Structure 1
Amino acid sequence: MTTDPQATPASATPASPVVDASPQGPAATTPLPLPDAAVESEAAPASSPKRPTRAEWVRIAIFGIPYAVFFLVGVPTWIFPASWSLTAINIGLDTILLIMALAFFGREFFPAFTYLRTRPVRKIALLFGLWFLVVIVQASVRFALYGGNPQVAENQQQVINALHDGALGLAFSFFVTVGVPVVEEIFYRHILIGKLSAYAPTWLVASISAALFAYMHSHQWQDFFSYLPLSIVLTLVYVKSGKNVAYSWLFHALNNSIMVILMFAMQGALQNV
């Protein structure tokens, strides 16, 4: 029987894995990938955020449409008895919106606090520095608009009145400092920027979100420019933290908490005088 000297053993063909005869037995090894080939174990970078699913759009609609209606037409006080307190009506509506926000987006909101696992002191200190910067810019804007005798924004005056509405004021202070920032951050940042940036550039949806947030707090045109610095910084905090809604909520809650403390302190000082 003759053999072909040009024949190649089957075990050495390129299509077969190389077999290592070791004491542990043969172990098949696959060829190394080509230089230009993608490694399967590495996650391919996403070119754009993931688009919301149909179920997510349902949640966005159920929460976002009622909030947008209140944003456009205001609190429908005419459907409530005239004897009802406006503070109580606001607390009731804020409670409903907060429950809806946490029920639909709590699984995305609470895990976002893991952002503070690394360098928490530095990140929280940054929020205090940004708050101080916002206060300076807002004061400069109000001085440019009103001169040396700046008026109190109507939105702030309504908050002051509600905070001093007896026992309801204490409940309202919770929503101002904790609950309302949750609702607003989920709507203006998490939805308008985080979700819609899958369909439009982040800078565009972020600009729209900042403008709408400032407009929502305005009762006259001067209020818009007074709230715009805070709105811009909130937007930057959210975007620069990797669209982390918990971090932007912390800044929002920090700002509102300091303002509530100052309002109570000023009221107490006036009463003592």
Structure 2
Amino acid sequence: MSTLDSMPRPRGPRPGNPAPGRRFGRFTGTDLLAVVLYVALPLAVVLLPLDRAGWIRTNPAVASYLLNLGVYGVVFVVAAISARAYFARDVRILATRPWFTAGILPLMLIAMLVVTAILVTLAGGIRISQNQQDIESVAQGVPWWFTAPLLVVVGPFVEEFVFRHLMIGKLSLFLNRWLCYAISIALFASLHIVGRDDFTIQALAPYLGLGAVLVFAYAWTGNNLAFSVSLHALKNLLSVVLMYTLDLSALQP
């Protein structure tokens, strides 16, 4: 019997939602391992004296990319094993409405850009985060076909697994769903700037906007992990295209 067969059947669709709701199984050991690796591996990279390695000093952009690929790659494998049944089911759901999926993803991306722009304006204007500067520095030293797998495939899957699938889908078994939404948005934004920037609303604003729309997309599609991963990947794909076709440094304040 498969994991999905052993789970309770999903409830009927809610008004305004394009897919039925979902009942999740409880947290598993693989879920815990993925979260521990997601937190511990970046800390290990920061704490270990890697800057003494000659190959890192010789080409820091490539070294930064390879370290991030290694960290996210390990978590990606564990997360993919943990969520394989959920993700496969979600892909099948989206495949039953391919035109809807293809049409709504660009609209969600536009909504994400608008919401982010509004929050950034309310927070006091654009501030290029250290996280964004690090990504752009990597783009200057690494070709697009090297960075795209990490930014468009591996990264979105890992972050949607942690911040949507676990923090909303499974955590809502124990906490109020709206509280799970808030936790997901707050932690998603915070972990993108912690240790890199001053912890201010101006630094958080872009990630709060991104997280809010991803949470909405995940919840609106009946907790569809494949949809939120696709939306996150589409946004990152746009970022990759812009990084490699525009001189983004000219846009910085």
TM-score (norm 2): 0.77
CA contact (8 A) 1:210 1:232 kept: yes
Aligned to 2:6: none
- Residue aligned with 1:243, SS: coil
Q: Give the whole-Å Cα distance in 1 for the aligned partners of 2:109 and 2:71.
A: 28
Aligned to 1:105: 83
- Could you tell me which runs of 5 or more consecutive residues in structure 1 were left unpaired when the two chains were aligned: 1-42
CA contact (8 A) 1:48 1:198 kept: no
- Could you tell me which runs of 5 or more consecutive residues in structure 2 were left unpaired when the two chains were aligned: 1-8, 13-20, 57-62
Aligned to 2:28: 57
Q: How does 1:17-166 map to 2 (within 5 A)?
A: 49-52=23-26, 56-70=27-41, 73=43, 75-76=45-46, 78-80=48-50, 81-83=52-54, 84=56, 85-147=63-125, 150-166=126-142
Match of 1:266 among 234, 238, 246: 246
CA contact (8 A) 2:108 2:217 kept: no
CA contact (8 A) 1:51 1:199 kept: no
Question: Does the C-alpha gap of structure 1 residues 137 and 174 become closer, same or farther in structure 2, counting only changes over 3 Å?
Answer: same
Question: Does the C-alpha gap of structure 1 residues 75 and 224 become closer, same or farther in structure 2, counting only changes over 3 Å?
Answer: farther
The letter for the 2-side match of 1:76 is V
Q: CA deviation at 1:191?
A: 0.9
Greater relative CO (CA pairs within 8 A, separation 6+): 2
Moved more, 61-70 or 210-219: 61-70
- Residue aligned with 2:175, SS: coil
CA contact (8 A) 2:38 2:72 kept: no
Q: How does 1:131-210 map to 2 (within 5 A)?
A: 131-147=109-125, 150-167=126-143, 170-210=145-185
Q: CA deviation at 1:231?
A: 0.3
More helix by share: 2
- Per-residue CA distance 1:35-77 (angstroms, 9 max, x = gap): xxxxxxxx7969993541xxx5211111111213357x48436
Question: Does the C-alpha gap of structure 1 residues 61 and 269 become closer, same or farther in structure 2, counting only changes over 3 Å?
Answer: closer
Q: Percent same amino acid at aligned positions?
A: 26
Question: Does the C-alpha gap of structure 1 residues 45 and 268 become closer, same or farther in structure 2, counting only changes over 3 Å?
Answer: closer
The letter for the 1-side match of 2:204 is F
Question: Does the C-alpha gap of structure 1 residues 254 and 89 become closer, same or farther in structure 2, counting only changes over 3 Å?
Answer: same
Q: CA deviation at 1:143?
A: 3.4
Match of 1:211 among 182, 186, 193: 186
Question: Does the C-alpha gap of structure 1 residues 269 and 205 become closer, same or farther in structure 2, counting only changes over 3 Å?
Answer: closer
CA contact (8 A) 2:22 2:223 kept: no
Aligned length: 221
CA contact (8 A) 1:134 1:229 kept: yes
- Per-residue CA distance 1:226-272 (angstroms, 9 max, x = gap): 211110110111111111100110100010001110111114998xx
Q: CA deviation at 1:145?
A: 3.7
